[in-house]
A and B are shown apart, each in its own frame.
Chain A
Amino acid sequence: MKGERLGEFEELVLLCVRQLGDESHGVGIQTLLAASAGREVTLGAIYSALDRSHRKGFVDSWLGEPTAVRGGRAKRHYAVTSKGEQVLRESREIRESLWTMVEAEGV
C-alpha cells in the first residue's frame, strides 16, 4: 500500500488545492502557501509535490483556457480526488487523536 503515504509538504499542497478549488494552479498554490503557512516555495517544488500526488491518485489535473494576464498562456488546474480527500482526512484524524492524547498527558 505504498501509494497511500502522504508527505507533510504534499499534505500542505493538497490542502491548498482543496482550498483553491477551481482556481488552483501553480502560482495560486504558491501564493496561498506563502500567505497561510509562511512558506516561500519555488514552483519547481510545488510541481514535484503535485506530480507525486498525481501519480498516487490524490489529484487530477487538466489544462485550462488561455488567459490574457499570463501572456495568453493556458493554466494547468488541479483538483483533489476522493482518494486524496480520504488520505487528508485520515491524516487529520491521526493528528487530532495525538493531540487529544498529548493534552490528556498534561504537558
Chain B
Amino acid sequence: MSGRAGLPAPIRWLVHLLVPASRRNDVLGDLEESVEARSERLGDRAARRHLWREVAALPRWRLGLYRSPRRPLRITTTTTTRSGFMGRDLLQDLTFGMRTLARRPAFAGTAVLILGLGIGAPTTVLTLVNRIFFDRPPEVTEPHRIFRAFRSWAPGEGGGSMQHADYLYYRENASTLSGLAAYGGSTVGAFSTGGSEPTQLRGGFVSDNYFDVLGVRPAQGRFFLLEENAEPDARPVMVLSDAFWKRALGGDPGVVGGSVLVNGITFTVVGVAPAAFRGVSPVEAAPDAWFPIAMFGALNRFPDAAWWERLPGARSNWLTLVGRLAPGVTFEAADANLTALSDALSYDGRSEQEGIIVVRDYLYRPSQADTLEILSTLLLAVVGLVLAIAAANVTVLLLSRATSRTAEMGIRTAMGAGRSRLFRQLLTESLLLGLAGGAVGIGLAYLFSDAAASLLPFRFITDFRPDASVLGAAVGISVVASVLVGLAPALQASRTDVARTIQGVGAAARRSRLRGVLVVGQVALSLVLVSGALLFARSFNAARTFELGWEANDRLVVQVNLRGQGYSEEEGLAFIPRARERLAALPGVEAATTSRMIPFQGDWSTNIEPPAGAMPNSEDGTVWIGMNVVHPGYFELMGIPLVRGQPLGMSARQEGPPAVVMNETLAETLFVGADPVGQILTLGGDRAFTVVGVARDAVYYELGEEPTTQLYGSVLQIYQPTVHFVLETRSDAAAMAPAAQAALRELDPNLVFPFVTTLASVVDDQTARYRVSAVLVGVFSALALLLAVVGLYGVVSFVVAMRTPEIGVRMALGADRTRIAREVLQHALELAGAGLVLGLIGVLLGRRVTSALLFGTVAADDPLPLVMGILVLAAAVSAASLVPVRRATRVDPVDAIRSE
C-alpha cells in the first residue's frame, strides 16, 4: 500500500458514515499516516489488518463505548474528603459503588441473581399470605369493624349456619353492635328477561339491613327497604351484581326499575351492587343477585306462605351472621357480649354444647382455617430458610471478593481513607446489590405469585400481585439482607492491615473459616428443606393414591335441583328415570346413574337410638348414620362391590318397607355378629326400611378418614328433589359436560345446573392441600440445594486456589496425587458432614410444624425422606467438590511455583 494511493474507497466511505464532518478530515489523515508508518515497519499485510482494526474501533469511539478505563486506584477527591456533607459522601459512595459493581458484571450479576431468588421466594409467599389473611372485603366501609358469627356445636368446634330465630335473638339483644345482618340460603334459578333464553342465576338471600351493615353503596338504584323483608313472597325485588348485570343484561343502563323473570316470578330490579363487591368473604361464592329473605319461599316454589309463619321457630340452620362493631367497641368486647347471649339462650332442642363462634378472619371457613394458617406458617419458614441460604451464599461471594480487593483496601487505607469510610463504602456496595436483588425478587414475585396461588386448596381469590405493603416488606427484607451479607466482609475488609495486605497474605485464613461456617449452615438448611420436600412429596403421593373404594376417573357429575325447577314429587319421580336413560344413551357415555350425595361435598346424616345389640358410635350414645339416596345402578357405576345380599331393585315397588343397602361399617355397628340382610331398620322413630344388601366400605367425607357408616336408599322409592346425575364416560369426563347438559335441556329447556364437576376434580380438591406443600416446598428446596451446592463449590475451589502454590511445591517434592485429592476432598466432606449433622437437628426440630400438614397415613418421623435427603445432599456435595479436587490433582508444579 503506497502512501500516494491513499485509503481504499470502502474505508473512506465508512469513515464518512461514522465520523462527523468536523473531524472527518483529520481522522482520515491520522488513519492514512498510521497505516503508512505501519506499512513501512511491518509490511502491507500487517498494515491492512491494522487499518481494519482501526476502522472497527471508530464506532466504539463515536458511540462512547470506551468506558473510563478501570481505575483500581482512585486518585481523587474521595480519599481526601474527610468531612463534608453526609449527603455528598453518600452520593459518592453510591456512584462509586455502582461503578465498582459495574466493573465486575459477572460478580454483581451472580450476587444480584442469588439475592433475587432469595428475596423473590419470601416476596411471593408474602403476596399470598397478605392477600389471604390481610385482604379486606372490597366496597365495605371500615371493614375492620366487620365480623361474622357462626354456630358452634361443641366448645371450640363448628362454624355452622344459624337459625333465623337465633339471628333475630342476637339482633335484638346485642348491645355492642351498630348493626347485625344475616345472609345465606343460596339458590340457583333460571333468569330471563321475557322471551329470551333463560340464564342460570345464583342468588343469595339477605336480611333487610345487609348492605347497610356492610356500608356498601349501590352503583345504581338502591338496596333493600325494611318493608321488603316484612311479608312473605309479597315484594319481588332484587339487587344484581355488577358482573351478572353485564353478563346477562349486557350492562343495560335502564335496568333499574325494570322487570325480569326468575324461576317464572316477575322481579323488579331495584339496584346494582358495585363491581368490586363480592360479599363479606371470598370463601363464600359471590351471588349473581341478592333477594330479601322474605322471597325465599317464592323462589324455592314453596306451595304457600306457611314457611314464613314457621320461620321464627324453624330449627333449620341456614344463615351466617355479619355484624358491625359499635364505635369504640373492641372485637373482644363484642365476642364476649355475643357469647354471653349465646350462653343465656335455651330452647327446646338446643344442646347444652351449642355456642357461637365470632370471627373477624376474612377467610374463616371452618374446614380450612387451620390448614391455611399452618400452611402459611410452613411456607414462611421455608422461604425464610431459602433467604438465609441465599444470604449466606452472597456473603461467601463477598468474602471472596474482599480477598481480591485487599490491595485496593490497603492502598486506600494507606492514603488516609478512614476505616469507617471504607466500611460504609463496602456496606453501600452490598446495599446496592441487595436493592437490585430486591428488584429482581419483586419481579419474580409478580411473575410467579399467581402460579403459586393456583396450587392453593381454594380458588376464590385470583390476581395475586404484590401490593404496597408487600413491596414495602420486600424492600425491608432487601435492606436487612444487604446489611447481613455485607457486614462481615465489610468489617474484615475495613480492618485490613496495610503492611500485611500489601504483602498479600492478609486475613485469608480467618475468612476461609467464616466461609466454612457459612457453607455448613447452607448444607444444614438444605437438608432440612430437601428432606421436608421429600416428606411432603410422600404425603401427597399417599393422598393421591389413597384407596377411595370408588372409581373417580371418567365420572361426570351434573346436579339438578328439581324442586327449584318447579317439579312436584310426582313429576320429579317421572323425570329422573327418563333423564337417566337419555344420558346413558349419549354417545361416549358408558352408563348413567344418580346420587343425592357426592363424596367430599358435605354430609347428610341422621342419629338413631341404638337398637338392641348395636354399638353406639357417637359420644352421646346414639348411632350416627351417613345417608344417601341413589339410583339402583349406582354401585356398579361407582365400582362399589356388594359383599352380601342383593342390590337395590329397579322397581319403585318393594315388598314391605323401602329397600336399603348399608355399608360394612354400618352393618357391623348395628348388627354385631348377625346377618343384616332381611332386617328391618327404623329411622326417626317411624320410618322403616328393609336391609337388602351390604356394600363394601368407601371414603365419603374426607381423605384418610376412618371407615364411616353409610346407608343407601333407592331414589325410586325415597324421593329427593336434589339429584346428581353421575355419568361414566369413555374418555375425558369434563368434555362430556356440554353434551350432558344439552341432553337434559332437550327434556326441559328451563333446566339449570348448579353444580357440574367430575369426580376426579372432586378428589383433586381433596389432595390440593397436600399438593401445595409438596410442590412449593419442593421448588424452594431445589432452589436451596442449588444455592448450597454452588456455595460449597465456590468455597472448595477457593481453598484449592489458595493452596495451589503449596500443592505445587509438595508435588514437585514427589507428593502423591491421590493423597492431595484425599486432603481436599476431606475438607469438603468435613464441611458437608458438619452441615448434615446440624441439618439433622433442624429436621428433628421442624417435625412439629410439618405433622399437621401431612396426609394421615404419613408420619412426620418417617425416616425414609430423611435418609433420601441425606443421600441427595451427599451426592450433590460430592459432585460440587469433584471439579476443584480434580483441579488440585492437576496442579502443574512449575506453574504453581512460578505464580508464587
> A residues touching B (Cβ–Cβ < 8 Å)?
1, 4-10, 25-27, 30-31, 42-45, 47-49, 51-52, 63, 67, 69-71, 73-76, 90-91, 94-95, 98, 101-102, 105, 107
Whether B54 contacts A1 by the Cβ 8 Å rule is no
Given A5-B76, A63-B25: 14 more A-B contacts, CB < 8 Å: A5-B77, A6-B75, A6-B76, A8-B69, A10-B68, A10-B69, A43-B27, A44-B57, A44-B58, A45-B57, A70-B32, A71-B4, A71-B28, A71-B29
A25 touches B26 (CB 8 A): yes
**Interface contact A70-B33, CB-CB below 8 Å:** yes
Q: Which of chain B's residues have a CB closer than 8 A to the CB of A105?
A: 498-499, 502
Interface residues on B, range: 35 or more
Q: Is the CB of B26 within 8 A of A76?
A: yes
Chain B residues near A27: list those with CB within 8 A.
30, 33-34, 37
- B422-467, CB < 8 A from A: none
Q: How far is the CA of A91 from the CA of B73 in the complex (A)?
A: 10
A4 and B75 alpha carbons, distance in the complex (Å): 10
| CB-based contact B502/A45 at 8 Å | no
A44 to B23, Cβ gap below 8 A? no
Q: Which residue on A lies nearest to B504, using beta carbons?
A: A107
Instruction: Determine whether B673 belongs to the interface, using a CB cutoff of 8 Å to chain A.
Output: no
Contact of B61 among A7, A10, A44, A90 (CB under 8 A): A44
Complexed CA–CA distance, A4 and B80 (Å): 13
Complex Cα distance, B36 from A51, in Å, reads 25
Asked if B60 lies at the interface with its beta carbon under 8 angstroms from chain A, I say yes
Residues of A contacting B30 in the complex (Cβ-Cβ under 8 angstroms): 25-27, 43, 70, 75-76
Q: Is the CB of B28 within 8 A of A73?
A: yes
**Inter-chain contacts of A76 with B (CB < 8 A):** 23, 26, 30
Supposing A8-B69, A44-B57, A73-B28 touch, asked if A107 and B411 sit within 8 A by C-beta, the answer is no
- Determine if B503 is an interface residue (Cβ-Cβ < 8 Å): yes
- Whole-angstrom distance between the Cβ of B416 and the nearest chain A Cβ: 10
Residues of B close to A75: CB separation below 8 A = 26, 29-30
- The yes or no answer to B819 lying at the interface (CB within 8 A) is no
B32-84 contacts to A, CB under 8 A, are: 32-34, 36-37, 53-54, 56-61, 64, 66, 68-71, 73, 75-77
A48 and B61 contact, CB distance less than 8 A: yes
Q: What 8 pairs between A and B have smallest CB-CB spacing?
A: A44-B57, A73-B29, A42-B57, A48-B66, A44-B61, A26-B30, A70-B29, A76-B26
Chain B hits for A91, CB < 8 A: 75
B11 to chain A, nearest CB (A): 12
B415 within 8 A of A: yes
Q: Which residues on the B side are within 8 Å of A31 (C-beta)?
A: 37
Among B7, B54, B66, B414, the residue within 8 A (CB) of A101 is B414
Confirm or deny: B876 has a beta carbon within 8 angstroms of a beta carbon on chain A.
no
Contacts of B723 in A (CB 8 A): none
A98 and B414 contact, CB distance less than 8 A: yes
Point out the residues of chain A lying under 8 angstroms from B57, CB to CB: 42-45
B3 on the A face (CB < 8 A): yes
Give the chain A neighbours of B53 by CB distance below 8 A. Answer: 42
A93 to B459, CA, bound (A): 71
By the criterion CB–CB under 8 Å, are A74 and B64 in contact? no
Complex formed: what's the CA distance from A74 to B27 in Å? 9
Please tell me if the beta carbons of A107 and B54 are within 8 angstroms of each other in the complex: no
Q: Is the interface of B mostly helix, strand, loop or mixed?
A: helix
Contact with A along B104-131 (1 / 0, CB 8 A): 0000000000000000000000000000
What is the distance, in angstroms, from A23's C-beta to the closest C-beta of chain B? 12
A69 to B28, CA, bound (A): 12
Kindly state whether residue B31 has any CB partner on chain A within 8 Å: yes
17 contacts between A and B (CB under 8 A): A4-B77, A5-B68, A5-B75, A8-B69, A8-B71, A10-B69, A25-B30, A27-B30, A31-B37, A43-B57, A44-B60, A44-B66, A48-B60, A69-B33, A70-B30, A74-B25, A107-B502
Structural contact, B34 and A43, CB atoms closer than 8 A: yes
Counting CB contacts under 8 A, is B6 at the interface?
yes
Q: Which residue of A lies closest to B503 (CB)?
A: A107
Q: In angstroms, how far is the closest chain A Cβ from the Cβ of B359?
A: 61
Contact residues in A for B61 (Cβ distance below 8 Å): 43-45, 47-48, 51
Residues of B within 8 A of A44 (CB): 54, 57-61, 66
CA of A74 to CA of B415 in the docked complex: distance in angstroms? 45
In the assembled complex, the CB of B34 is this many whole angstroms from the nearest CB of chain A, namely 5
Out of A7, A69, A73, A94, name the residue touching B68 (CB < 8 Å). A7
Closest to A8 in B: B69
Q: How far is the CA of A27 from the CA of B25 in the complex (A)?
A: 14
Residue of A nearest to B3 (CB): A69
Nearest CB on A from B546, distance (A)? 70
Q: Hey, which bits of chain B sit against chain A, CB under 8 A?
A: 3-4, 6-7, 23, 25-34, 36-37, 53-54, 56-61, 64, 66, 68-71, 73, 75-77, 411, 414-415, 498-499, 502-503
* Closest Cβ–Cβ distance, residue A50 to chain B (whole Å): 10
Which residues of chain B are near A98, meaning CB under 8 Å?
A: 411, 414-415
Q: Which residue of B lies closest to A67 (CB)?
A: B29
Instruction: Tell me which residues across on chain A come within 8 A of B34, comparing CB atoms.
Output: 26-27, 30, 43
Complex CA distance for A102 and B410, rounded to whole angstroms: 11
- Residue picked from B54, B56, B66, B414, most chain A C-beta under 10 Å: B66
CA gap between A105 and B503 in the complex, in Å: 10
Residues of B within 8 A of A47 (CB): 27, 61
Q: Say whether A74 contacts B29, CB under 8 Å.
A: yes
Residues of A within 8 A of B37 (CB): 27, 31
Decide if B6 touches A7 in the complex (CB within 8 Å).
no
Q: For residue B68, which residues in chain A have a CB less than 8 angstroms away from its CB? A: 5, 7, 10, 52
Chain B residues near A6 (CB, 8 Å)?
75-76
In the complex, A79 Cα to B7 Cα: how many Å?
A: 28
Contact: A4 with B54, CB < 8 Å? no
Known contacts being A48-B61, A48-B66, is A7 close to B26, with CB within 8 Å?
no
Are B75 and A90 in contact (CB-based, < 8 A)? yes
Q: Is the CB of A9 within 8 A of B3?
A: no
Complex: chain B residue closest to A44, CB-CB: B57
CB-CB under 8 A from A25, the residues of chain B are 26, 30
Provide the bound-state CA to CA distance between A95 and B502, in Å: 15
Docked complex Cα distance between A8 and B68 (Å): 9
| Best-surrounded residue of B61, B70, B77 (most CB of chain A within 10 A) | B61
CA distance A98 to B56 in the complex (A): 39
**A70–B411 alpha-carbon span in the complex (Å):** 46
- Cα–Cα, bound, A49→B70 (Å): 13
Q: Which residues in A have their C-beta under 8 angstroms from that of B415?
A: 94, 98
Q: Measured between alpha carbons, how far is A94 from B415 in the docked complex, in Å?
A: 8
> Could you say which residues of chain A place their CB within 8 Å of the CB of B75?
5-6, 90-91, 94-95
A90 to chain B: which residues have CB within 8 Å? 75
Bound CA span A68–B92, Å:
50
Chain A min CB distance to B18 (Å): 9
Contact A73 B32 (CB under 8 A): yes
Identity of the chain A residue whose Cβ is nearest the Cβ of B68 in the assembled complex: A7
A69 CA to B7 CA in the complex, in Å? 13
CB distance from B772 to the nearest CB of A (A): 53
Query: Given B4, B25, B60, which contacts A73 in the complex, CB threshold below 8 Å?
Result: B25
Residues in B whose Cβ lies below 8 Å from that of A71: 3-4, 6-7, 28-29, 32
**B731 CB, nearest partner CB in chain A, Å:** 68
Name which residue of chain A comes closest to B59, CB basis. A44
Residues of A within 8 A of B56 (CB): 42
A51 to chain B, nearest CB (A): 8
Checking A45, A67, A69, A102 against B66 with a beta-carbon cut-off of 8 angstroms, the contacting residue is A45
* CA–CA, A52 and B70, complex, Å: 15
Most A-side CB within 10 Å, residue of B26, B64, B71: B26
For residue B49, give the distance in angstroms from its CB to the closest CB of chain A: 12
- Chain A residues positioned under 8 Å from B76 (CB to CB): 1, 4-6
B residues less than 8 Å from A43 (CB atoms): 27, 30-31, 34, 54, 57-58, 61
A77 to B362 Cα, complex, angstroms: 77
A31 CA / B33 CA spacing, docked (Å): 11
Question: How distant is the Cα of A76 from the Cα of B498 in the complex, in angstroms?
Answer: 45
> By the criterion CB–CB under 8 Å, are B26 and A102 in contact?
no
Give every chain B residue within 8 A of A4 (Cβ-Cβ). Answer: 76-77
Q: Smallest CB-CB separation from B70: which chain A residue?
A: A8
